[in-house]
Structure 1
Amino acid sequence: MNWRLLLGLGLLLAAILGGWSAWKHRDQPQPQVMQTGRPDYVMRDFEMIVLDDAGSESLSLRAPLMERDPNDHTYTIATPLFLIPDDEGRNWELRADSGWASAKGDEVKLKDDVIGTSPPGSSLTGTFETAYLDVLPRENLARTDAAVTLTQPGSILKGVGFEIHTKTKRYAFKSKVRSRYEPHAAR
């Protein structure tokens, strides 16, 4: 047998084995990491005070349970009570069955039986109820597109869509507004 033939067969065999190996070890998608669904930390029965950029109190939060999602660093809150100060230092109270807060704390979502109460002794006294509420603490704004009932001394306002500015104490309904006057003498 000729040495050139043996060398050619060896090179052919090496090329076939190299091609087969490259095919076998080609880029394959990495297996997906299983999400455990477990928080990376939990707070129980706590009160937390959040400061704004100037170091003043932006809001306070009291809740029996808060959990942080390790993937996006958002927070899930059970039965939160948010206290948001107005210009005179009195607190608006926002309650809900559940809540969610963004990783940076610049957005809060309250849902299921949301109740907001104005500060005692303020010029805007009343309580509003809705299904969900988005709160933007840095903008001193709370809003919803859901139905809202605002109860004030002597009147009940209902509408769909609502915005309230906690510092200026101004609110606005967006649509389908109905008002019912209830004088004190009729009660």
Structure 2
Amino acid sequence: MTLSTREAMIAVVLAAAGLAAWWYRGGRQPEVAPAVPQHGRPDYVVEQVAAVTMSDGGEPLRRLRAPQLRHYPEGGGSELDAPVLRLLEPGQPDWVVRSEQAWVSADGDEVLLEGRVLGERAAAADQPPMRIMTSQLLVLDDAGYAETDRFVELERGDDWLTAVDGMQLWFDAPMRSRFFGRVRQRLAFAEPAAAPDAPSVPGP
């Protein structure tokens, strides 16, 4: 099937919007599991996906790259191979999110990242580098909610946290999270500064 430029851009923008949502928005816990499509025959395929999502003021918000996008008919959604999503914020380090595969629902409201899921943000002047690692992550676009029932690890500078049975994340301010199963955490505290020597007092 021949894919028009307009159709290709709609598919790519939906995929990019879904993948980016969990970094930006907050909301409610999902009520149903995502309806991941059966692996049938896609109605079109886009090779070497590269897309930029712009703000209303014309500034780039995020960039998406993937070797291949496959769209499935009858509401089956789209699959992406090895997507790399870069989230841009002026004056702040980029978030770079990678996974081995991703599935995006037809309306772009549900995203399932699978395989090795890795989100990284470089250090800035006022914040340490940060990494989030797991093997599967479900994101609900309209709710700004993300969850996994898989092992998850978070690193923030020298601090780290692991949870055996996954986590829930809500991204509205104030951002909040819940961790399940056996949770381990290490907080690295800076060494307290030595007290200054007491001034000498002359004797009588």
What TM-score do you get using the length of structure 1 for normalisation?
0.63
Q: Which has the larger radius of gyration?
A: 1
CA contact 2:94–2:122 (8 Å) conserved in 1: yes
Shift of 1:41: 1.3
Query: Relative contact order: is structure 1 or structure 2 higher (C-alpha 8 Å, sep ≥ 6)?
Result: 2
1:149 matched to 2:153: yes
Match of 1:23 in 2: none
Question: Pairwise mapping of residues 158-169 of structure 1 onto structure 2 (< 5 A)?
Answer: 158-159=162-163, 160-165=165-170, 168=173
CA contact 1:154–1:184 (8 Å) conserved in 2: no
Match of 1:133 in 2: 137
Distance 1:125 1:144 in 2: 22
More helix by share: 1
1:62 matched to 2:58: no
- Structure 1: segments with no counterpart, 5+ residues: 1-34
Q: Secondary structure of the equivalent of 2:106?
A: coil
Letter in 1 for 2:167: F
Letter in 2 for 1:161: G
More strand by share: 1
Shift of 1:157: 0.6
Q: Secondary structure of the equivalent of 2:75?
A: coil
Shift of 1:132: 0.2
Q: Secondary structure of the equivalent of 1:146?
A: coil
Match of 1:104 in 2: 107
Question: Pairwise mapping of residues 14-25 of structure 1 onto structure 2 (< 5 A)?
Answer: none
Sequence identity percentage? 27
CA contact 1:157–1:180 (8 Å) conserved in 2: yes
Shift of 1:120: 4.5
Shift of 1:115: 0.7
Q: Closer, same or farther in 2 for the Cα pair 1:134/1:114, shift >3 Å?
A: same
- Structure 2: segments with no counterpart, 5+ residues: 1-37, 192-204
Distance 2:66 2:92 in 1: 21
Shift of 1:98: 0.8
What TM-score do you get using the length of structure 2 for normalisation?
0.58
Shift of 1:89: 6.8
Match of 1:92 in 2: 95
Q: 2:179 aligns with which of 171, 174, 178?
A: 174
Letter in 2 for 1:146: R
